[in-house]
Chains A and B, each alone.
Chain A
Amino acid sequence: MRNNNDIISDKMDWVTVALYFAIVFLGWINIYAVTYDQAKSISIFNVDLNSGRQLIFIVGSIFIILAILIIDMRFYETFAYVIYGAILFLLLLVPIIGKEVGGNKAWLGIGSFGVQPSEFAKFATALAVAKYIGSVGFKMDQLRNQIILFAMIGASMLLILLQKDTGTALVFTVFTLVFFREGMSPMLIICGVAAAVIFILTLLVNSYYLFIGIGIILVIAIVMGKKKIKRIAMLTAAAIALCCVIISVDYVVTNVLRPHQQNRIKALINPDADPLGFGWNVTQSKIAIGSGGFIGKGFLKGTQTKFDFVPEQSTDFIFCTIGEEHGWLGSLFIMTLFVGLLLRIVFLAERQKNRFARVYGYSVACIFFFHFAVNIGMTIGLFPVIGIPLPFFSYGGSSLWGFTILLFILLKLDIHRMQVLQRI
């Protein structure tokens, strides 16, 4: 019988591992580029810099990877609910005993060492969702099952929202994409996107114009189609419902969203309205990226990211450094790496022999995708500023470890995918 290590090195998907380390390495040197000061020229390894500390986190994640690979693969499925429950418990603790960093109370501290349980909630929720969908007799079209699934992601979202970390909470909406893959009707996603569009439109356009627009569309729809009472009634009901949505969105925006959240959405629509105020982040981020040109200013030569014009550069706005110093070509390269990783994960998920592993794989892909899309989207002004990190790239221990755990549990499952078949 071959020993465990041989199996790991034989069956490990080295393509993913290579992509992982490539992105982590590029992230690390870009974190150095952010803090680089030509007057001081401190070493990349200096722990006074973010880059030095990031290196410690990277070394830490190697240990985490080893631990994940050593632990028996059955552990993850077996203890999925336990892990999920434990993380929920930690999330519950955060508002009570957590410490506040940068306006969000999202940290659990042990001495000077702090972690963000919300970063770990992602893999825990993914495990739980995968286990539930993978359970014997699960059928996606049963309403009860759907309710339970949404309750699972809803619980995580709710507890994270309590920490006022809207960005991370929104990540969990991406599970709908996983559900879609597993057979849920696309109507939900379509409705979700439509709601978002209406939401944005409400902010952009005066509600009265929207009402008039809906009215016109309604009349056209009635005139064009078959004139059945039932159909007309349905259309009218839908139009009225839409108007109600608009009114409630108006209400939510002005009364429920906190001022900085309103400003972020307004900044997305028109960042030039107040470039020094709420549009500052997006404006400066776009200036930094836009000034990079086709080939960029060169490594360590960026001026915008170096001199603090862009806020949160090491974390949420790390992509600015790529855009500024490496230009469009550098951006293309980073995009290629990420899309490559995403497609590879989908490939891995699809080759799993059981549903648990496949659902988990899709969860990983979709979570990465959400982070990737929203993070880069916000730096170039396509999404509102939602403070979520770029996976493996942004500075921060919790997020790096959280993403590492997400990815390597999948790789561990992938290594043993043939055993699963044997076992069942």
Chain B
Amino acid sequence: MNEGRKEIIQIVFVLVALIFLVKLFFIQVLDDRYAQLANSNAILRQIDYPVRGLIRDRHGKLIVYNTPEFDLQIIHREVKNLDTARFLDVFSLTREELLQTFKELKMKKEYSPVKPTIFLTKLSARDFAKIEDNIDEFPGFYIQARTTRAYNAQAAANAIGYVSEISKTKLERDKTGIYKQGDYIGQSGIESFYEQYLRGTRGVRFKLRNVDGIEKGSFRDGEMDTLSTPGQDLTTTLDLELQKYGEYLMKGKSGSIIAIEPSTGEILSMVSGPSYDPTLLTGKNYSSNFVLISNDTLKPLFNRPLMAQYRPGSIFKIAQAMVALQEGVITPETRIRCDRSIIDCHGPHTNEDLRGAITNSCNPYFRDVLRRMLNQGKSNNPFDDTRIGLTEWDKHISSFGFGKRLGIDLPNEKNGLVPSPAFYDRAYGGRPWKFSNIYSIAIGEGENLVVPLQMANFAATVANKGYYITPHLVKSIGNSGKPLPPYTEKHYTTIDSAYFRVAADAMERVVEAGTGQFRAKLKDVIVCGKTGTVQNDPKPAHAVFIAFAPKENPKIAVSVYVESAGQGGRSAASIASLMIEKYLYGATQRPQIEEYVLKGKFLN
């Protein structure tokens, strides 16, 4: 009567076990979702932030270092029975701020109730002491230590740049996967260009934790943990004392000073005026200070040495002279009458040779030099002839590093402009143009544009008698003792070095007896220089001066550009010579010149 029932019961027993095993096979072997969930449950990923590399000057003096800073992180799920009044007290917040912070927290893209999310940032060391003592009262809140930048000197702010939280757009563009929201990244200057060296690598520690978030030791005995490696220190080419002095001289002026060691291309100082206090862009008040600085009408964040494109003015005559010599259209002895009917000139001179023309910055002389260069009679058509001449001229001028980015180790460098035939075709809308249309480029006016860095590089090229090494700001990454490879390569110009000697001689005369004699001449060293006064109607002209010294074995090449400061022989020549003096002798022996510069009254 009950036949088979024994078997039915046994089959039921086995069947249930089989169903379980199949189900287990699904969740254990086929579905790896559970393993991931288990990890996010029990494994806390702690980032070990590396220390960012330090930045030193060329003598090893510290410019930028790190100070500790603290963020407060929250794992929302773990927050239990928050004593709001106590929290407000410990963290020095108002109730509104706290509510706002919670509101913003949930809007964050990376927000998850089970993962650490940044709650408050940039707690100061002072707040931290209080918070650290009391953090245990607030389950779900964790302190994350990291470092922030600090500055030994309020100098070279634009060259060094600043560090701040990575922006959303940058984060989206980042393909390395290194950065997460809330991470810090170099935003400009050296901090940005050398980000990959400075940032170091982050360490990760995997900690086990129980359901209450309490740490229960390391995961797999720490075999997956990585230590953070600190970023590499940078030794810059800057001379901190010279840099500070330059900024001191530029106080209250707009413009730039760049000093380069010609033999190496190392930038000794790079002043952008006006500048800002880099400390303002660290710490708690970053956002409000940034708005303040970026809205300043004098644009302190605008790095003039690289970004301001000016007409070069008369300093360009040095380049013209060398190109003409190279092309063989003049010799150093060629005399040209100072015919002021087409183009104005200054000073009492009538019929100078090349040296005299440079010394007196004779405009008609260089107009004629350019004419001889552009119209060499290679074509009977004056338009075509100019085109052929200009193409040749372009080649030479560009070889000085004008009209293109030099490739300095900073972001946002501008090209400048060396007008080419194609440029004029565009500018004239297809209508023909010839020498008489474009001659103002002969004296560095017209369509020419250069950035101050290119002027300094030009001075260095003359100092080197024919080549330059791309100017750069970092001479050693970490302990390598070497700059990046591009910064050891010599770039030769298309001009024979003999003609550079002519140029150097002429520049010596400028300081000795010409437009620069009153303020650029130094007692113990031969300074070679050239003034420039760039038209800026209706405002006063910009003052320009380039120089290098000593004449033999030059140690320093300088360019100075002071906006709306009138004649180059005044402010710019003064500043340049003071920088040379400071660098070569450590101080000026001409306090009256320093005083003149600091007073800043250059317009009569």
Contacts and interface: CB of A to CB of B under 8 A. Distances in A.
B426 interface: no
A328 B24 contact: yes
Given A289-B34, A291-B35, A293-B28, 18 more contacts: A180-B5, A284-B41, A289-B28, A290-B33, A293-B29, A303-B208, A309-B42, A309-B211, A324-B38, A328-B29, A331-B20, A339-B17, A343-B14, A362-B9, A369-B13, A377-B20, A382-B20, A382-B23
B14 A339 contact: yes
A177 B9 contact: yes
23 contacts: A38-B216, A39-B217, A181-B6, A181-B9, A183-B2, A289-B24, A289-B28, A290-B27, A290-B37, A291-B34, A293-B35, A294-B28, A304-B38, A307-B208, A328-B25, A328-B28, A331-B28, A338-B17, A339-B14, A346-B9, A346-B10, A369-B13, A376-B20
Contact of B28 (A181, A323, A343, A369): A323
B5 A181 contact: yes
Contacts of B35: 290-291, 293
B41 A287 contact: yes
Interface in A14-36: none
A308 B27 contact: no
A306 interface: yes
Nearest to A350: B6
Interface string A265-294: 000000000001000000010111111111
B16 interface: yes
B104 interface: no
Interface in B195-237: 208-212, 216-217, 219
Interface in A306-332: 306-309, 323-324, 327-328, 331-332
Contact of A288 (B38, B77, B217): B38
Given A183-B1, A289-B24, A290-B35, A309 B41 contact: yes
A182 interface: yes
The 10 closest A-B pairs by CB, nearest first: A290-B34, A307-B210, A291-B38, A303-B42, A290-B27, A308-B211, A291-B35, A328-B28, A287-B37, A339-B17
Contacts of A288: 38
Contacts of A350: 6
B211 A307 contact: yes
A366 B13 CA distance: 9
A342 B12 CA distance: 11
Contacts of A39: 216-217
Interface residues of B, number: 40
A370 B29 CA distance: 26
B553 to A, nearest CB: 69
Interface of B: 1-2, 5-6, 8-10, 12-14, 16-17, 19-21, 23-25, 27-29, 31, 33-35, 37-39, 41-43, 77, 208-212, 216-217, 219
A72 interface: no
Contacts of B212: 308
A249 interface: no
Contacts of B10: 343, 346
Contacts of B28: 289-290, 292-294, 323, 327-328, 331
A37 interface: yes
A286 B34 contact: yes
A372 to B, nearest CB: 8
Residue among A289, A291, A350, A362 facing the most chain B CB atoms (10 A cut-off): A291
Nearest to B221: A38
Contacts of A286: 27, 34
Given A289-B27, A289-B28, A307 B20 contact: no
Contacts of A328: 21, 24-25, 28-29
Contacts of A377: 16, 20
Which of B5, B28, B34, B219 is the most central at the interface, judged by chain A CB atoms within 10 Å of its CB?
B28
A362 B12 CA distance: 13
Contacts of B8: 180
B168 to A, nearest CB: 30
B21 A332 contact: yes
Given A323-B28, A343-B10, A307 B42 contact: yes
A346 B212 CA distance: 45
A181 B2 CA distance: 7
A245 to B, nearest CB: 25
Contacts of A148: none
Nearest to A374: B16
Interface in A160-200: 177, 180-183
A380 interface: yes
A36 to B, nearest CB: 11
A58 to B, nearest CB: 25
A380 B23 contact: yes
Contacts of B208: 303, 307
A59 interface: no
Contacts of B13: 339, 342-343, 346, 365, 369
Contact of A303 (B1, B19, B38): B38
A380 B24 CA distance: 7
A379 to B, nearest CB: 10
Contacts of A366: 9
A82 interface: no
Contacts of A177: 9, 12
Contacts of B19: 382
B431 to A, nearest CB: 74
